[in-house]
Amino acid sequence: EPEVTQTPSHQVTQMGQEVILRCVPISNHLYFYWYRQILGQKVEFLVSFYNNEISEKSEIFDDQFSVERPDGSNFTLKIRSTKLEDSAMYFCASSQSGVGDTQYFGPGTRLTVL
């Protein structure tokens, strides 16, 4: 069964550095999402992406964040100038059609900002 994949599984960075988290959604899916989960807390919506543009974004998704689909398979989340509070698990998800469709999650990237 096809799965969403994410790389790296764990990223350690220094405060102020830029990181790029990568995701490969399920191949026939059209909608892509990023979520964040701070350790022991709820999953928080960051952004949804469709047709090469952002569909929706939450208040968390400020100018520090950006998303891109650089080719036909990858979907990336860039975090500029990382802060300590950006430390979290970042999940990518994809769905075949709109938000009401089942979203399939990747295994996550654990980001640690030192």
Partner 1 sequence: GENVEQHPSTLSVQEGDSAVIKCTYSDSASNYFPWYKQELGKRPQLIIDIRSNVGEKKDQRIAVTLNKTAKHFSLHITETQPEDSAVYFCAARDSNYQLIWGAGTKLIIKP
CB under 8 Å to 30, separation ≥6 — which residues? 50, 51, 95, 96, 97
Q: What is the rounded distance in angstroms from the CA atom of residue 57 to the CA atom of residue 90?
A: 15
Of residues 12-41, those binding partner 1 (CB under 8 A): 33, 41
43 binds partner 1 (CB under 8 A): yes
Q: What is the rounded distance in angstroms from the CA atom of residue 92 to the CA atom of residue 70?
A: 15
Contact window for partner 1 (CB under 8 A) among 15-23, 48-56, 63-71, 77-85: 48-56
* Smallest distance from partner 1 to CB 80, Å: 23
Q: Where would I find the H helices in 11-99?
A: none
87 binds partner 1 (CB under 8 A): no
Q: Which residues bind partner 1 (CB under 8 A)?
A: 33, 41-45, 48, 55-56, 58, 91, 98-100, 102-108
